Amino acid sequence: MAESAAVLSGDAVTPSEHERTYRRNFVYMLLDFILFGVGMGLLSPTTVIPDFVRRLTDYEVLIALSSQLFEAAWLLPQLLVARRLVRVANKKWWFVGPNIAVRPLLFILAGVIVLAGPDRPGLILALFLALYTLAGLGDGLVGVPWLDLLGSSLSSGWRARLMGLGTAINGVAILALAPVVGIILGDSGPGFPNNYALLFATTGVLFILTIPPTLFIRELPGGQPQEVSPPLREYLPSLWRILRDDTAFRVLVIMRVLGSLFALALPFYIGFATERLGMPNDIAVSRLLLMQTLGSVAGSVLFSWMGNRRTLEYIRLMLAVGVMVPSLALLAGAVGTAPLYLTFLASGFSLSSLGFGFMNWVIIYATPDDRPVYTGLFNSVSAVSVLTVPLLGGTIVEILGYEAAFVVSLAAVVAELYVALRYLQAPERRRARAAESPA
């Protein structure tokens, strides 16, 4: 208990004590990361979720929205959470507490899908949209404190290992489970909608299992808390000033908006495979999920090597690979399904890992005092584009077809890569400038 108090206070803590705390936190955070990541991998937003919704409706805008729904719900509340956290010294229970309430929601969703039965697709769709959104919103409450814990209670080296190794282990687990997903969704499985209910239930159990490890995370001091939360009339203008005055951060936000346009086509690759190229649903979901996971494993291993000291180079590389994603999908339309496998491989390599590059950039760039605000601002601005892009993507597919969405995605990722090469700076430069400035 005395050791815990010393660590939390930050007084007279030796480097070896910090290192022991980093190692301890790494184990518990890794368990949480793996369990949550495998659960989300089973409900892949580019394969499983849009295929599930496509069986309930043929409205392309809603299908597109479903693939971004969890991420948008996760991003939306973070700006308001950040406002509250500026006056909180210890943020661990802002992470642990909401998890206890919301992580069983997908298990509950599985139960209500089974109870609804196959003859009420409208009811299943409404229940899915409601509970899936609530799960995302609940996870959004913990997004800012989670990133703050990553920044304060893990060193940069341990943080890169967590994201890289955790994603690699998740990928290997999904590789092993992909054939099982194919069996569940195939003719020998329990049949629709119970087959998808089984996937939701499995994810729900994994989410519930994330709760115990997080209880043992030992929080290290972060930023200096403010005495009171700033009133909204002051808080909102201060956010605008950050975007106006901090050029480097504004560049990253612009890239994130372009990244949402890049992801515009993601929910439609699986529909393109099944409806345009004639792949059976169970084969398309399982095999393309397999290829995406292989790419994700490769990207995460690379992040564990580059993410600590070469974040900028990593982001640029992921975007360069990202150019291949819509390009290969367009090629598949001309020559057949083979390039589509490479589309999902490149998608897993770039898009699955690019988010880690962005998060790590913000954590390194922001000081401990302003990290909650920068994190919340970055994610909440992203939410606006994540919500609007599915409407745009679905409309494009409804009117012009799949290929038009792929062309828009290609233009966006090329523009994002240009901005990264031309304007994005290494996050360490801010700290270096602060160190060189006179007191």
| 69 and 129 Cβ atoms separated by less than 8 Å | yes
Joined tokens for residue 152: 């304060």
Residues whose CB falls within 8 Å of the CB of residue 278, separated by 6 or more in sequence, listed in order: none
Determine the Cα–Cα distance for residues 346 and 336; give it in Å rounded to an integer. 17
pLDDT score at 203: 94
- Number of other CB atoms surrounding residue 405 within 10 Å: 27
Positions in the chain whose pLDDT score sits under 70:
1-15, 222-230, 232, 307-308, 429-439
Domain 2-433 has CATH 1.20.1250.20: yes
Residue 321 has what pLDDT?
A: 93
d(CA 382, CA 263): 12
Helix (H) / strand (E) containing 353: helix 338-365
Condensed to tens digits (0 to 9), the pLDDT of residues 85-143 reads: 777 777 888 888 888 989 999 999 999 999 998 889 999 999 999 999 999 988 888 88
Q: What is the dihedral of CA 262, 264, 133, 357, to 10 degrees?
A: -10
Other C-beta atoms closer than 10 Å to the C-beta of 122 total: 10
**pLDDT for res 171:** 78
So what's the pLDDT on residue 114?
Answer: 94
pLDDT of residue 65: 80
**C-beta neighbour count of 6 within 10 angstroms:** 14
The answer to whether the CB of 182 falls within 8 A of the CB of 282 is yes
For residue 423, give both structure tokens: 């304007």
Closest CA to 125 of 62, 76, 83: 62
Tokens coding 314 = 């990593």
- Measured CA to CA, the distance from residue 151 to residue 359 in angstroms comes to 10
Convert the pLDDT of each residue in 226-277 to its tens digit: 666 667 677 777 788 888 889 999 999 999 889 888 888 887 888 888 888 8
Residue with tokens 């409407």: 391
Look at residue 6 in the predicted model and tell me its pLDDT: 38
Closest CA to 44 of 175, 161, 160: 175
What's the pLDDT score for residue 427?
86
User: What is the rounded CA–CA span in Å between residue 249 and residue 291?
Assistant: 33
CA 33/CA 427 separation, integer angstroms: 24
Give the per-residue pLDDT at 243: 86
Supply 65's token pair: 């929205």
Residue 195 Cα distances to 111, 184, 202, 217, 253, angstroms: 12, 6, 11, 36, 39
In this prediction, residue 132 carries a pLDDT of 93
Q: How many residues does the chain have?
A: 439
